[in-house]
Amino acid sequence: MTLLTIDAITVNYGRLIALRNASLTLSQGETLFITGPNGAGKSTLLKAIAGVVVPKAGTIRFAGLEIGGWAPEDIARRGFSMVPEGRHVFGSLTIEENLRLGVGMRVDKDAAERDLEHIYSVFPMLEERRHQAAGVLSGGQQQMLVIGRALMANPQLIAIDEPSLGLAPKVIDDVYAVLLKLRDTRGLTLLIVEQSSARATMTGGRMLLLRGGEIVLEGDARELTRSDALKAAYFGYGEQH
Ligand SMILES: Nc1ncnc2c1ncn2[C@@H]1O[C@H](COP(=O)(O)OP(=O)(O)OP(=O)(O)O)[C@@H](O)[C@H]1O
Ligand SMILES: [Mg+2]
């Protein structure tokens, strides 16, 4: 089943074109990595789906509805959770209070309680420290917390902007183990921005390369990284400047 269809969206910040004519589709339970250099438009793509920025052209369909122009909270309610760049925790609230914020407008509070238990079971560190202020957590622990909070909304699609940034390899392994388990057991769809292709190669799935606001390459993550196509496209080799 197709969960997300982005058709020819263009996003501008003033005169700067951050995303130009970008299209992609994502099926339920699929994993799509988005990679590309700094300033390529990766975060902008996630923000456009989340409704944080509004494309000036093109359409976005999510879970069967056209969501262009919807408020971010309405898109979230349809089953989209985003973990933006920069790990925004509420430092003076406890870990558990931060997690409960993720429940948002969910109606089924019993299911939310079960999900809290589930998140504690996959990130035991969060349970051990649930009454501590979130501000004292290390960077990696805060990353687990924001991912846990995004999962508390029980999304169909989770989009995570650079989950590996600044994390120890063991912590990255833990975070990916959780995400892949949810994908395989609940059909969670993953849209992940990563600068490096290492995780995409390990995890598999599809990969899409953005450069200068345009999708310049798309394909099977392992095949792309095995060939030289990814490196060439990343740096723009063989093009006229
Ligand atoms: N709010 C904004 N106002 C003006 N320009 C912006 C804004 N947000 C992003 N941009 C510009 O849009 C372009 C794309 O930015 P974006 O954050 O999407 O890139 P990115 O691929 O996520 O980069 P990075 O890897 O550094 O996170 C960049 O040139 C950036 O400077
Ligand atoms: Mg970014």
- Given ligand 1 and candidates 11, 43, 210, which is best to mutate, with the most ligand atoms within 8 Å of its CB? 43
For 135-166, write each residue's pLDDT tens digit.
999 988 899 999 999 999 889 999 999 999 87
Least confident of 37-41, 71-75, 213-217, 230-234: 230-234
Largest CA distance in the chain: 59
Predicted pLDDT at 241: 47
Q: What is the mean pLDDT of residues 8-26?
A: 97
Strands 80-83 and 157-161: parallel
Predicted pLDDT at 225: 86
Q: Order across the sheet with 31-35: list the strands.
A: 80-83, 157-161, 189-193, 31-35, 206-211, 214-220
Residue 239 has pLDDT above 60, yes or no: no
For 64-111, write each residue's pLDDT tens digit.
999 999 999 999 999 999 999 888 899 999 999 999 988 876 667 788
Q: How many CA atoms lie within 13 A of 214 on its CB side?
A: 5
Q: What is the mean pLDDT of residues 165-169?
A: 84
Residue 210 has pLDDT above 90, yes or no: yes
Q: What is the mean pLDDT of the chain?
A: 91
For 25-73, write each residue's pLDDT tens digit.
999 999 999 999 999 999 999 999 999 999 999 999 999 999 999 999 9
Phi/psi for 27 (5° steps) reads: -90, 155
Separation of first and last alpha carbons in the chain:
41
38 lines ligand 1 (CB under 6 A): yes
Dist CA 58 CA 70 (whole Å): 14
pTM reported for the whole predicted model: 0.93
15 lines ligand 1 (CB under 6 A): no
The residue assigned the tokens 């833990």 is 174
Helix, strand, or coil here: 75?
Answer: helix
Domain limits, the chain: 2-235
Greater model confidence, 220 or 108 = 220
13 lines ligand 1 (CB under 6 A): yes
- Given ligand 1 and candidates 11, 42, 162, which is best to mutate, with the most ligand atoms within 8 Å of its CB? 42
Topology (CATH level 3) of domain 2-235: Rossmann fold (3.40.50)
Predicted pLDDT at 240: 46
**Polymer length in residues for the chain:** 241
